[in-house]
Each structure stands twice: as structure tokens, then as C-alpha cells.
Amino acid sequence: MKKKKRIDELLVERELAEDVEKAKRSVMAGMVYSGEERIDKPGSLLPVETPLRIKDKRLKYVGRGGYKLEKALQCFLVNVSGKVFMDVGSSTGGFTDCALKNGAKKCYAIDVGYNQLDWKLRNDPRVIPMERTNFRHVTPDILHDGLPEVVSIDVSFISLKHIFPVLATLLPKKNDIIALIKPQFEAFRDQVGEKGIVRDPAIHLEVLEKVVKYAADASFTLVDLTYSPIKGTEGNIEFLAHFRWKNEGTPKEVILQEVVRDAQQALIQ
């Protein structure tokens, strides 16, 4: 019987990744191939002699979130160059890294967790780490490098319903919010399936409608919407939304059902 190992371990052994964590990120970003077959599960057990390659050996960002923000900036035509950026739910810093690579002047990296932010970002003078910080308790007076001009949101285990009202106290006029909408944290408990996955497109639509209302209740309006280019870590389809203050800019005619349909076609195989 052929000996098998986890793909993330094989990538490290072959020096295709610096460590197991970065190997996992490469796999989940859809960058790892055996021949022409893409392997997208970090826990996959493969024969030790399986040929492997990484389509782009160097990860562009320190975390998968960078690819999500990259799509949002391109799709929504949001410019972060020279601006103060706020990354709510920064984790390892994928969104922060993407913002900096697109010219952000400063970046608040806010997370309730501790010691997750990538070491490179932690030591970047443009980054203001705010660890062990519950965003619901953030006030303007503790933002010593200025109020944010662009905000990204990537939070887990909390609804965006609790985030928008805080943003309304922090965000100056004529600025942008990019929110990652995670159905598993917005849907009702009985709508979430095994392993925390929401598969029903009808529930996706319901979630989007709720989040748009949460934003409106805090005086923000939906400008544009798309789906995330990669799934969440458990395999959930996620959505990217662009919000601005009400009566600012010209919102696109966003048909939520069409975005849900497009996401299903692109990400469900």
C-alpha cells in the first residue's frame, strides 16, 4: 500500500511552502496542482510521490482575504491610495496587505484575537495593530492616526448588524465600506447546515436582503455587490458589498438574485 501524507506537509517537504500554514493558504487559494488537476483541500491525503506544483510560488498576500479585497477594489473602483484604511477583523492581515500594496497611507488592523497578524505587517510602520480589540468598543478618540477613509469588514461569529452602527460613528462623509458578507453568521441557526455551511441560494438572497437593511438602518446605502472569488475556509460562498453614506455617489442597479445566481454558477461544481 502506497504511503500517503497530507498535501500541506508534502508542500513543506518539497520546499514549495515555507511552513504548513502557508501551504494551507496556497491550497485554499486554488494555487496547488497535480498535473492539470487543482487540489483545494489542505487535508487531502496523497501518495508521497504525487507530482505537485504551485501555479504562483509566491503568495501575493499574507492571507486569503487579500484576494477577496483585490476583487472588491477592482470591481467597485475603490481607490485606497494615500488614504487611511481600516481592516475590521484583520486576522493574519490579508486585507491589510492588499490595501498597502494598493497604496494605503496607514492601516488600522483591528481584531479581537491576539498574535495573528503576520510578522511582516506587524513591523510595517504603516500598520497600527489593534489586537484584543472588540470593534464595538472602538471610538474616534483612540484612532490616533486619523479617521478611516476606507473600511473593510471581515468578521466571524458576529452579524454585520452590530458593525454598521459603530462605523456610523467613525467614518467621515464621502468614504467607502467594503463588507465581506458571510451567510453562516447572518442566517438563522436552523438555516445553517452541517459544518456551518449554507448552500441554499434562497437563504443567500435572504441574508443579502437583511444585510442591506442593517446598513440602511445605520444610514449607509448599497452601491454595488459581487461574490467573493474564493470560498470561506469551510466552503461557504461569500459576498462582497460596497456601501457608502446615503445620498453619496450613484448606486448601481444591483439585482441581488442575479449576484446569487452568478455565485452559484461560478463556485458550485
Do 162 and 216 touch, CB atoms closer than 8 A?
no
pLDDT in tens, the chain (269 residues): 678 889 988 888 776 776 788 888 888 888 888 877 888 888 888 888 887 877 765 678 878 889 999 999 999 999 999 999 999 999 889 999 999 999 999 999 999 988 788 888 999 999 999 999 999 999 999 999 999 999 999 999 999 999 999 999 999 998 999 999 999 999 888 888 888 888 899 999 999 999 999 999 999 999 999 999 988 867 899 999 999 999 876 667 788 999 999 999 988 86
Q: pTM for the complete prediction?
A: 0.80
What cell numbers appear for 120 in the block? Answer: 511582516
Instruction: Quote the pLDDT of residue 61.
Output: 86
Helix, strand or coil, per DSSP, at residue 69: helix
| Rounded Cα–Cα distance for residues 116 and 23 (Å) | 17
Residue 35, pLDDT score: 74
Cβ–Cβ under 8 Å, residues 232 and 94? no
Return the SS3 of 20.
Answer: helix
Domain 65-267 in CATH 3.20.20.80 = no
Domain boundaries, given as residue ranges, for the chain: 4-54, 65-267
Q: Which CATH number, 3.40.50.300, 3.10.290.10, 3.10.129.10, 3.30.565.40, labels domain 4-54?
A: 3.10.290.10
pLDDT of residue 15: 66
Angle at 163 between CA 106 and CA 215, to 5 degrees: 105
Do 4-54 and 65-267 fold alike per CATH? no
The CA distance from 87 to 107, in Å, is 7
